[in-house]
Structure 1
Amino acid sequence: MVKLATLSVKTKLTGTAMLLTTLLSGCASTIDQSQHQQELQRLINEAQIAPQLAGQDEVNWWQKLHSSQLNQLVNDALANNHNLHSSQLQLQSALARLGSQKAQFLPQGGTEINASRNDIVDNNSRQLSANLALDWQLDLFGRISALVDAANASAMSRAEQLRLLQIEVVSSVVKGFVSYQGNKQKQQIVELQVEALQQSIEVLQARVDEGIANELDLNRTRAQLSQQQALLPEIAYAQYSDLTALAVLTGRLSSALVLQDEQKVFDLPFNLTLAQPANAIALRPDISQALFDFSEANSLSVSASKALLPEVSLSAFAGVLSLGSYGLADTQGQWEVAPQIKWSLLSYPALLAQRDAQQYLSEAAYSDYQQVVLNAISESELALQLLVKENEQQQYAQQRYKYANNAFLQAEAMYQEGQIPYLELLNARQDILIAQENSVDSTISTLLAKVNAYQAFNGRWSYALANL
């Protein structure tokens, strides 16, 4: 990492030495963002993160699932999410503050019109005056410029915060939709399992009544049935939870949101590809926001240093005065131009303390930026490792279901031929139920891991959202 440039000025310097030192060392109120971007790119390139994922552009990556419902949910969330709306208003407020700060470069002042009448011992007097007063603070030492730079960095930070929230909203919508469809699939599977067990119980009950089977087989099958039936309320609650989360994200009540089954999202190919993996990390909004926060703190530090210098301003006054009437027929003109220099020498201890405090905050902001960079790189690497893990587990889960299904078919044939007792067939059925549920869970987790990876490598596709 590039070391933070030393911005502090020794507190013991006074007088001319203080003025000269400040002029020489505090000229730039903005950081060199291009330098930090280059350093970040070098760091990412050295880390060799996800070069194998280079391929198709990831912009609008959720459209690879080919779900019109999902696309509409994403559009609704971007248009109606209340948190996004609040963040957009905060950005507008920051831009307005930036405009207000830029206005400080211009002369300030206004007009004033006064009319008065006095009556002292039958002596009446009238007076009318109209004045125009201006005060122009000259930015000779760059204090106002530093404050403008700080306001600009603050506005840019708000913009990155909005982009960060857009990433969270889009990713949460996709995850909620995938989870909802996954729970729908699990519900269908469990319902089929319950139906098959109920049919088995009917057959077993008839055989028990005929004395061919025993109560043990029947009770074990009923226990399996209750175990599967107990899953249905949990799955129903999970579906409702997913639906509620999607409703909140899209700015509506859950009762107003109806989703259709789309099991195809688990069957279509959904590969993780990135047009530029390095930029997908380098352009992340959390990194950019931390850099703008550092830039704002640095500009405020420079402004605090400039406060040690004299303030030079130019005041101007022009007006007319009418005595004896409220009209302007008989007036006297007056004007004044007064340059002013104000230097708060007696406030130096307080100003020095404020400058030192802001410089510490600037150094802290740079440290925060470094931490955000490390967190972003680690999060990206961890997202890839999670995807590798889920892919491997999905393969094993599918193999497990394949073998469990073969074993059940074999056990069923052997039971029909009288080679094994019913309990062994029941155990084989239990194995395939567990394997099937595990396979479905693994498929859902793998798809969610891909969504999580797109969320981590968000730099490029989030910029596309911000430019809509």
Structure 2
Amino acid sequence: MRNTHKLTTIAVLVMSLSACAVGPEYQAPAKVADINVSSPYQQAELTQNWWQAFDDESLNRLIQRALNENRTLAQARANVDRAYAVFQDADNDILPKGTLDAGYQASENAVLQPTNDSVIIRGYSTGANLSWDLDLFGKLRRATEASEAQAHQADILWHDAQVQLISQVATSYGEYRGAQLRLVVAEQNLQNLQQSRAIVMARLEAGMASELELAQIDVQMHQVNAAIPAYRVALLTADATLSALLAQRPGQLELDDMPRLPQLKKPVAVVEGENYLRYRADVASSERLLAARTAEIGVATADLYPNVSISGFLGFLSGPGLSLGSDTKSWAVSPSLSWQAADLGSVKARIRQAEASSQMALAEFEQQVFNAINEMQLALNSYNLSREQQLSTELQWQASNKAVAISRERYNAGTGEFLDLLDSERELLRSRDQLAQLQQQSFIRLVEIYRSFGGGIQLI
């Protein structure tokens, strides 16, 4: 009874000590108190399906293929699996370990005595070898906390890789459609110039125009022709980028030749008071890194204290007769204690390293927050200004169309100056190409809004 009481007391003491863990308990950063990243996977479907708001079947198909085939994304997914395997391995370290072993041994003249000459001894052992680190000061538990935080970080970064991939595909798609649009615009401009050239040629044949006027209109036609190869290069570049993102060879996108840029049917809405930082994977991942670095302080601090472990054996040991029975049963218990007492200077240095790493992680987290806030605001402002510029250019293009029609009509009737026609044609070319560029720019900046908001922004 007394022995049972002693064993119970020892067990309770060990459990009480095992409940302790040195090092600081992790607390969410207080210096940026309005940030809540406790649920980094909130509304994951929303953050990964935002592109469907464009209602563009070709874009939907490209993004879905990229999500299925992109190798960088596959690498990020494998990194998640690896990180969780590391966490599971660390989590198991707190439990007793054991192996089942069986061994056979034969020896001759094992002892250097005359009586043992030519004597062969045979024997074997079989049983379970067990070991258990009691983790009295929480080194293993802190290591588990660190590996779990790193596994969460890998998971967050995988979600971020999806958002980044979707944004890259959408941006490259916009560049592809933009190059198509500018190519079509150039071809339309050539047609307009050919109409003007036909008028100049007719007037030249009638003796009402000069060779200089014909040469001047030809100059504009050659300028437009010279720009067309650059648009084709931009188209090939966008094709190559998209193909790489989709893990396929160039020229296999199977996109139609219709130069249309996706448009939203509803405007983008930023909800006042909404914490969009919770969708930002860079903020959430840096917070998880901070948690891991904080736990690593405890891992280093635990080395200031002794480490207690127990090893044992339970099985059978056989002598020369190789018999197996109750008389060959064997067991052993070997408690041990180790302490880095002679190397505490190095232990304290490692603690300072861990503390410095934690401070670095805190500074990184805070900087990520400020970067994210400014990036989101810049994306909104840039898109709004791009839309204003696009609307103004649309009005400019409409006015240029009207000016060309009037100039052409007057010049054909002989009441207008050729320079007026030439200037209006030049302005029409410039404004129409600029409008195509701004349409592409507005779409890309809209994609940047979704990317900078982590895909969490909504439509109204």
TM over 0.5: yes
Q: Which residue in the other structure is 1:302 paired with?
A: 298
Q: Which moved more, 1:298-307 or 1:201-210?
A: 201-210
SS at match of 1:130: strand
For the structure 1 residues 211 and 267, does the alpha-carbon distance in structure 2 shift closer, same or farther, using more than 3 Å as the test?
A: farther
Alignment-derived partner of residue 108 in structure 1: 97
Quote the offset at 1:278 in angstroms: 2.7
8 Å CA contact 1:320–1:332 kept in 2: the answer is: yes
- Amino acid in the other structure paired with 1:222: D
2:35 pairs with one of 21, 31, 40: 40
| Runs of 4+ residues over 6 Å off in structure 1 | 34-37
- Tell me how far 1:264 sits from its aligned partner: 4.7
Q: Would you say 1:429 and 2:418 are equivalent positions?
A: no
**C-alpha separation between the residues in 1 aligned to 2:311 and 2:418?**
103
Helix, strand or coil for the counterpart of 1:40?
A: coil
Instruction: Tell me how far apart the structure 2 counterparts of residues 154 and 58 of structure 1 sit (CA, whole Å).
Output: 22
Q: Which deviates more from structure 2 when the two are superposed, residues 297-306 or residues 26-35? A: 26-35
Q: In 2 relative to 1, CA 168–59 (structure 1 residues): closer, same or farther, beyond 3 Å?
A: closer
Distance 1:262 1:202, change over 3 A: closer
Gaps of 5+ in 2: 1-17, 38-45, 110-116
Question: For 1:128-139, what aligned pairs fall within 5 Å after superposition?
Answer: 128-139=124-135
Task: Indicate how the Cα distance of structure 1 residues 74 and 461 shifts in structure 2: closer, same or farther if over 3 A, else same.
Answer: farther
Report the secondary structure of 1:171's partner residue: helix
> 1: distance between equivalents of 2:25 and 2:67?
33
Find 1:87's aligned residue among 70, 73, 76: 76
Residue in structure 1 matched with residue 330 of structure 2 by the alignment: 334
Q: Distance in 2 between matches of 1:371 and 1:173?
A: 28
Query: Structure 1 residue 408 and structure 2 residue 429: aligned?
Result: no
For the residue of structure 2 that corresponds to 1:323, the secondary structure is coil
Kept in 2: contact 1:393–1:442 (CA 8 A): yes
Give the TM-score of the pair, scaled to structure 1.
0.85
- Matches of residues 62-461 of structure 1 in structure 2 within 5 Å? 62-120=51-109, 121-266=117-262, 269=265, 271-274=267-270, 278-328=274-324, 331-458=327-454, 460=456
Q: Is the 8 A contact 1:146 1:303 kept in 2?
A: yes
Identity of aligned residues (%): 24
Tell me the distance in 2 between the aligned counterparts of 1:459 and 1:187.
31
| 8 Å CA contact retained: 2:163, 2:454 | yes
C-alpha distance in structure 1 between counterparts of 2:216 and 2:352, whole Å:
76
Q: Report the AA paired with residue 255 of structure 1.
A: G
Q: CA deviation at 1:262?
A: 4.3
Cα distance change on mapping 1:267 and 1:153 into 2, 3 Å: closer
Deviates more, 1:251-260 or 1:277-286: 277-286
- Provide closer, same or farther for how the CA distance between residues 311 and 276 of structure 1 changes in structure 2, counting only shifts above 3 A: farther
What's the TM-score once normalised by structure 2's chain length? 0.86
Q: How far, CA to CA, are the matches of 2:214 and 2:264 in structure 1?
A: 41
**Mapped partners of 1:351, 1:271: distance in 2:** 58
Contact 1:177–1:242 (8 Å) recurs in 2: yes
| Structure 1 residue 276 displacement after superposition | 7.3
Instruction: String of CA shifts for 1:256-281, please: whole Å, max 9, x gaps.
Output: 22211344545663521356773322
The alignment of Structure 1 onto Structure 2 pairs a total of residues equal to 427
Q: Distance in 1 between matches of 2:163 and 2:31?
A: 23
Cα separation, partners in 2 of 1:275 and 1:389, compared to 1, 3 Å: closer
